[in-house]
Structure 1
Amino acid sequence: MMKKNKYLIFGILAFFMISSCDTLDIENIYDYNADLVWDDESLVEAYMANVYADVMGNWSATLDQKTQQLSGIHFYLDRVTITNTQYKEWNYETIRLINEAIVNVDAGTLDQEVKDDVIGQAKFLRAYVYFNMVRYHGGVPYITVPQNKDTDDLYVKRNSTAECFDFIIKDLDEAISLLPEQISKSSKEFGKIDGCFAIAFKAKVLLYKASPQFNPSNPWDNNYWKEAHTANETAYTKLKSLGYALTPQYEDIFLVERGPEVVFSVINTYPNKTINWDYGVRPGSESRGPASACPTWEFVKEFPMKDGKLYDDPTGTYHKTDEEFLQSYWENRDPRFDKSIIWNGSVYEVSNKSGNRQYTALGIADVLDDFGVNPAAKTNSTNLDRYSGFFVRKASDLSLLQSEVQQYDIDFIVMRFAEVMLNYAETANETGKSDVALSILKEIRERAGIEAGNDGNYGITATTREQIRAAIVAERNIEFCFEDMRFWNLRRLRMLDVLDGTTKHGVEAIAINPDGSEMAIAVAEEKAANNELTEEDFKYTTLQIPFTGVKVNSVPEKYYFFPIQQEVIDLNSNIEQNVDWGGTFDPTL
């Protein structure tokens, strides 16, 4: 792992690693002496690093609870209201910090090359923050200067969504003109924004602009798709020419840092900056507490088989009935399944435990790992409302001992080349270039390890525009699982109905003898202690999860644009509320 050591303190403990050697302090970025900062390159760098830390995010195990991928009913009735803070993105404190950087560094005495680089980074970050606000709410006030409460009119109105997209693209174009084209992964500057990330992100913004979310009356044939395709083709071609490529082994994307697929990542380095991914995904017996995110049976079923087709596709080599699949769901799967999911009886050589198998069966597994209601166990599981019988393997650093699990410091990938490829494929398909889209889908599946088949199509049967569109959505679901993309893609495509009114399930395992009868718990427990029970030594049944409480997702149509918080409107009566939330502002294009 290639790590660098420069960090700073943001507030109490917010660290963002960007370079090498010195420790820089701006103890409170909201209250600093500007005269001491903007003529000092090191302090400007520290200031900007604080802004990066505020904007870019990091690993979080629970983000895909919003979808069918992970257990938990995230969208209960009225999860989002006008008055609560849920799904509100109104980040004007950060916008002010960015605007101050742009104005003050330009007025300072640093070399022009340094000024240009800082302004380029700041304009990208401003576009990035505004884009997140727009995808939440539609148009927002697009403020580009630090406002003065004594001299400026603070009662601003919302810019239209179209105006916001124009401003975002303008900021990104100006950033691209100022930033270095590409920062080498061996450079001490790695971790800063470069032109490659900015070009790829601009293409993503234009994909959103063309999307059904913003164009409900003309979702697939609006003129924005051509603009989006041009930008995405440019991004794909540029990055590919500069050496970006799919990492050969899927698991290495995350575990071998700074690989060829990484377009931009947040740098984590123990002990200065750790993150709770392993702490959140490992079974309780291998962590410092219970897992906070577990895959669902619904999602397990969505992984293709090894031939690229679903288990219930009668044309597939590995076709199975529902019951056959339930009793052997781990067999002949898309290799990404093995690299993303832990299941009962699977080999899980965590903490240097050679040959270790992970069990989830009640009465057999560790009490911190079990899931089920088997009466023969004569004990109650305490995990029925949080577990599913599955755990997340993806991006987990199995080399860490249990005592070290909170030392997880693998870099968080904000964008990878596979996303650039699929964004390009999507715009190609919507502009009549289905051959390009299918070629990219095949590349993604080839890297995954799916069988090519006699026709060389890797299980892809789609031929029409609509079928290819669905194939891209399905591929994103698997390729980017647990990376917080599924919900936003469904929302962008106005497909939230696939989540609304749905339930989630887990799978209970009960040990059986060769004749199919249930194995005595004591016998099974002893065998499991020696890792002697494999997946085939169990029978499986499904249980709805959570076992108690709210069980049905509620994702109404109005969630395509979230409301402005009432508190914001109370402070500024010129801010209109969105139409689906009782207001007059139309957030679409």
Structure 2
Amino acid sequence: MKKLNIIYLAILTMLVSACGKDFLDAKVTNKVSADALYGDEEGILAYLASIYQQLPIEDFNYKPRADFGFNTYAAGSHGGEYFHVATPDAVASRGFHIMYGKGGAQAPYWVEAYRLIRDINLLEEAIPSIKASVLSNARKQSLIGEAAFCRAYTYFALAKRYGGVPILTKTQDFSGNIEDLKLTRATEKETYDFILAQCDTAAKYLIPAEERRATKAAAWALKSRVALYAASITKYPVNNGSSEAYRQKLVDGMPSTAVANDYYTKCIEASLQIINPNADIGPTGHGLYMPNPASPAEAAANYQGLFENAQRARVEAIFIKGYTLPGVGTGHNWDLLMCTPQVSNGYNDGGTVNPTLDLIDLYETYTSNGASVPINTRNDNSLLYASPTANSQTQYRHFNDPQDIFAGKDARMFATIITPSSIWKNTKIISQAGLVRPNGTFIYRQDGSAIKDGTTYYSYGASSPTSYSGFNINSRYSLTGFFVKKYVVENNNPLPVSGSCTQDFIEMRYAEVLLNFAEAVIESGYTANNAQALATKAVNIIRKRAGHTYEIPSVTLEQVLRERRVEFGMENSYTLWDLIRRRQYHVIYNSFKHKVLCPVLDLTTTPVSYFFVRDISNKVSGTMTWGSGGDIRDYYLAIPGTGANGLIPNN
């Protein structure tokens, strides 16, 4: 077990000042022995499974505040921790807000990353010694590819948080002099070039298809993602000024049009290994799931089904994190945490993530010809954000059914989000924010009731808290009127016990690669091989899968970026990292406030009707501000424990 401890010493040189003697006492007890790894296929697969399990995938069990360097700022208590609420697209029902890059009780992804890199390096070093009777040469080569893929994936998680980082591809031999193990940081460009080279190695050696493991397509998809990220931070530098890390090009160290275009080209070339905008299926056998729906309703059902069961959508799912065994550590709680109060069966921690009006407004309609259509609530068509006043109900558009205001919206919205008065698990989900009494006065965003013609009506839509789902100040009710539907299994009823949800998480899919390609083409002006027309096709076939018949004639960058947000809405942290890589986070979160849509029952009309109020979330107090008052340096996190190693300048 000597080598298992060697890499710990390398990390120790950076972390001893922060971790103290306890770090010296750490022992490796959770890995198989070298003999088992070399001599038995089951041992190899167990070790490999451990590596996959440790990959920094931001899935159902990912907690931003606890895992990879996020922080929570709350109005009230700190509750659950979910990546969605680090973006404009959602707010947490508990009233907290997660920010990227802030100081305080940050959970850095550093020691864990280099532990995983150690495990990957040990696997790769063991491969030549594995006997042919245990693994064939073809399987050994595939292992080399998997090691390269996992290494690239882990280093990318480091690079997008810290910039240039120390690169280790082999375990170190400890000669007794701790100084020999001290590490230096590669430049930011060297780090990204290394990651892309690892993707190439993975693509070279990986076999075409493997259940829930890296494949050639996964390697190309990762390269597409990494190259686009590198291109974006190169094209949109934040200029971190005079720090030593900046001077050494460890952060913000690639501002060059030529370098940006080189990365965009790498993204394009990697994407074309997978996609074919002129056909339903690309070169690796992947394509969009159910790409030709007959109607928007069918498109919504197909899109919902893609996430309920990724195994039925293997054509689109390029890389999956699997959950097959219910139980703590092997399952997850997504269905429970996203459930509405009306279908919670007594579970009190549901409704955690509430999509905002900011996201709802982005979805187009089937007659808007590729443009967003904000929800129109008022007779004057203004997008006013304000609480209603006495006798102001005549200023609003009225509806007999709250669902009518969403008529004609993109099918993906209905497959991603539970809207007020929609049917979910055979239950009409009531999210009502108030009512207008017959005399024209309001009960708004508070509990109350009024009588009309002998019938009692309630401001939250029902008398019992278990019979409605929105706007109550308690934590499990929606603050925005909306709940998350994506990835929740509709027929999973009654709800499973804690830790027993087993739907798989799709980490990479065909639609992402299409949109990576389109963005890279437009951003770089790439024209070879009719690329501009292909970029437009790539976006249009995604829209076609959503039920749209109108084809955008020449797609713009704005349309590509909007398409990313609606295609990946509530899916994982796409929006977060898109805002970070394009250096838009500090712009979006400059005094940002989440928008909500409040349905109100109007008792002054006969029959009673509904109208909607565009308003601001009233539970997350104050405004949201990026970093330390908008400090652009917060695009990079601080590296922990660098005091023991004078060779590593901090960010």
**TM-score for the superposition, normalised by structure 1:** 0.77
Take 1:427 and 1:30, find their aligned partners in 2: how far apart are those partners? Answer: 42
Q: Which residue of 2 aligns with 1:404?
A: 496
Take 1:444 and 1:326, find their aligned partners in 2: how far apart are those partners? Answer: 33
Partner of 1:501: helix, strand, or coil?
A: strand
Q: Which residue of 2 aligns with 1:294?
A: 354
Partner of 2:90: helix, strand, or coil?
A: coil
Q: Which residue of 2 aligns with 1:345?
A: 421
The counterpart of 1:241, out of the listed 279, 283, 290, is: 283
Cα offset, 1:213, TM superposition:
5.1
In the alignment, is the contact (CA less than 8 A) between 1:68 and 1:504 conserved in 2? yes
State yes or no: 1:176 paired with 2:203.
Answer: yes
Pick closer, same or farther for the CA change 1:74–1:119 going to 2, 3 Å: farther
Take 1:411 and 1:100, find their aligned partners in 2: how far apart are those partners? Answer: 28
Q: Which residue of 2 aligns with 1:141?
A: 166
Q: Which residue of 1 aligns with 2:192?
A: 165
The counterpart of 2:319, out of the listed 238, 257, 264, is: 264
State yes or no: 1:477 paired with 2:477.
Answer: no
**TM-score for the superposition, normalised by structure 2:** 0.70
Letter matched to residue 507 of structure 1: L
Q: Which residue of 2 aligns with 1:45?
A: 45
Pick closer, same or farther for the CA change 1:207–1:554 going to 2, 3 Å: closer
In the alignment, is the contact (CA less than 8 A) between 1:138 and 1:561 conserved in 2? no
In the alignment, is the contact (CA less than 8 A) between 1:388 and 1:507 conserved in 2? yes
Q: Which residue of 2 aligns with 1:96?
A: 118
Partner of 2:599: helix, strand, or coil?
A: strand
In the alignment, is the contact (CA less than 8 A) between 1:139 and 1:162 conserved in 2? yes
Take 2:473 and 2:324, find their aligned partners in 1: how far apart are those partners? Answer: 37
In the alignment, is the contact (CA less than 8 A) between 2:101 and 2:635 conserved in 1? no
In the alignment, is the contact (CA less than 8 A) between 1:89 and 1:136 conserved in 2? no
Partner of 2:515: helix, strand, or coil?
A: helix
State which drifts further: 320-329 or 425-434: 320-329
The counterpart of 2:233, out of the listed 212, 226, 231, is: 212
Give unpaired runs (5+ residues) of structure 2. 1-26, 62-80, 240-253, 276-281, 291-301, 385-395, 436-443, 450-457, 461-471
Cα offset, 1:560, TM superposition:
5.8
Partner of 2:155: helix, strand, or coil?
A: helix
Cα offset, 1:374, TM superposition:
4.9
Cα offset, 1:575, TM superposition:
1.4
In the alignment, is the contact (CA less than 8 A) between 1:124 and 1:198 conserved in 2? yes
Letter matched to residue 322 of structure 1: L
Match runs of 1:507-518 below 5 Å: 507-513=597-603, 515=605
Take 1:474 and 1:220, find their aligned partners in 2: how far apart are those partners? Answer: 26
Take 1:78 and 1:411, find their aligned partners in 2: how far apart are those partners? Answer: 26
Take 1:334 and 1:220, find their aligned partners in 2: how far apart are those partners? Answer: 38
The counterpart of 1:563, out of the listed 631, 637, 640, is: 637
Letter matched to residue 43 of structure 2: L
Cα offset, 1:282, TM superposition:
1.4
In the alignment, is the contact (CA less than 8 A) between 2:420 and 2:431 conserved in 1? yes
Pick closer, same or farther for the CA change 1:68–1:576 going to 2, 3 Å: same
Partner of 1:212: helix, strand, or coil?
A: helix
Take 2:49 and 2:39, find their aligned partners in 1: how far apart are those partners? Answer: 16
Cα offset, 1:286, TM superposition:
2.0
Q: Which residue of 1 aligns with 2:265?
A: 229
Partner of 1:159: helix, strand, or coil?
A: coil
Cα shift readout 1:328-383 (whole Å, capped 9, x = no counterpart): 541221111111111221122x1xx3xx210022699xxxxxx9325435896424
Q: Which residue of 2 aligns with 1:14?
A: none
In the alignment, is the contact (CA less than 8 A) between 1:134 and 1:161 conserved in 2? yes
Letter matched to residue 135 of structure 1: K
State yes or no: 1:449 paired with 2:547.
Answer: yes
State which drifts further: 278-287 or 144-153: 144-153
Pick closer, same or farther for the CA change 1:309–1:374 going to 2, 3 Å: farther
Match runs of 1:74-473 below 5 Å: 80-81=102-103, 84-86=105-107, 88-90=109-111, 91-109=113-131, 110-111=134-135, 112-151=137-176, 153-180=180-207, 182-183=208-209, 189-212=210-233, 216=237, 221-239=257-275, 240-248=282-290, 249-258=302-311, 259=313, 260-271=315-326, 273-287=330-344, 288-289=347-348, 290-307=350-367, 308-311=370-373, 321-322=382-383, 329-348=405-424, 350=425, 353=426, 356-361=427-432, 372-376=445-449, 377=458, 381-383=473-475, 387-404=479-496, 406=498, 407-432=500-525, 433=527, 434-452=532-550, 456-457=551-552, 468-473=556-561
Q: Which residue of 2 aligns with 1:55?
A: 55
Take 2:398 and 2:322, find their aligned partners in 1: how far apart are those partners? Answer: 40
Partner of 1:124: helix, strand, or coil?
A: helix
Letter matched to residue 610 of structure 2: F
Q: Which residue of 1 aligns with 2:389?
A: none
Take 1:560 and 1:552, find their aligned partners in 2: how far apart are those partners? Answer: 15
Cα offset, 1:220, TM superposition:
8.4
Letter matched to residue 292 of structure 1: T
Take 2:232 and 2:51, find their aligned partners in 1: how far apart are those partners? Answer: 29
Cα offset, 1:208, TM superposition:
1.7
Pick closer, same or farther for the CA change 1:120–1:310 going to 2, 3 Å: closer
Partner of 2:355: helix, strand, or coil?
A: coil
Match runs of 1:502-581 below 5 Å: 502-513=592-603, 515=605, 537-547=609-619, 549-555=621-627, 556-558=630-632, 561-565=635-639, 567-578=640-651
Give the number of aligned pairs: 502
Take 2:398 and 2:505, find their aligned partners in 1: how far apart are those partners? Answer: 34
In the alignment, is the contact (CA less than 8 A) between 1:311 and 1:320 conserved in 2? no
Take 1:144 and 1:104, find their aligned partners in 2: how far apart are those partners? Answer: 13
Pick closer, same or farther for the CA change 1:424–1:114 going to 2, 3 Å: same
Partner of 2:47: helix, strand, or coil?
A: helix
Partner of 2:257: helix, strand, or coil?
A: coil
Q: Which residue of 1 aligns with 2:85?
A: 65
Cα shift readout 1:519-573 (whole Å, capped 9, x = no counterpart): 6xxxxxxxxxxxxxxxxx43333443252545424343425632323x4212323
Take 1:543 and 1:224, find their aligned partners in 2: how far apart are those partners? Answer: 40
Cα offset, 1:514, TM superposition:
7.6
Letter matched to residue 539 of structure 1: F
Cα offset, 1:508, TM superposition:
2.9
Take 2:361 and 2:375, find their aligned partners in 1: how far apart are those partners? Answer: 12
Pick closer, same or farther for the CA change 1:237–1:143 going to 2, 3 Å: closer
Take 1:63 and 1:332, find their aligned partners in 2: how far apart are those partners? Answer: 29
Pick closer, same or farther for the CA change 1:325–1:278 going to 2, 3 Å: farther
In the alignment, is the contact (CA less than 8 A) between 1:384 and 1:547 conserved in 2? no
Q: Which residue of 2 aligns with 1:582?
A: none
Pick closer, same or farther for the CA change 1:97–1:363 going to 2, 3 Å: same
Cα offset, 1:271, TM superposition:
2.5
Partner of 1:508: helix, strand, or coil?
A: strand
Take 1:547 and 1:562, find their aligned partners in 2: how far apart are those partners? Answer: 29
State which drifts further: 338-347 or 272-281: 272-281
Identical aligned pairs, as a percentage?
Answer: 22
Take 1:414 and 1:120, find their aligned partners in 2: how far apart are those partners? Answer: 18
Q: Which residue of 2 aligns with 1:526?
A: none
Take 1:404 and 1:195, find their aligned partners in 2: how far apart are those partners? Answer: 35
Take 1:384 and 1:114, find their aligned partners in 2: how far apart are those partners? Answer: 49
Letter matched to residue 510 of structure 1: V
Cα shift readout 1:480-510 (whole Å, capped 9, x = no counterpart): 0112100101111111112332001323333
Take 2:35 and 2:501, find their aligned partners in 1: how far apart are those partners? Answer: 38
State which drifts further: 280-289 or 41-50: 280-289
Calculate the aligned-residue CA RMSD, in Å.
Answer: 3.3
Cα offset, 1:133, TM superposition:
0.4
Cα offset, 1:511, TM superposition:
2.6
In the alignment, is the contact (CA less than 8 A) between 1:429 and 1:436 conserved in 2? no
Pick closer, same or farther for the CA change 1:403–1:59 going to 2, 3 Å: closer
Letter matched to residue 360 of structure 1: S
Cα offset, 1:325, TM superposition:
7.5
Take 2:288 and 2:256, find their aligned partners in 1: how far apart are those partners? Answer: 29
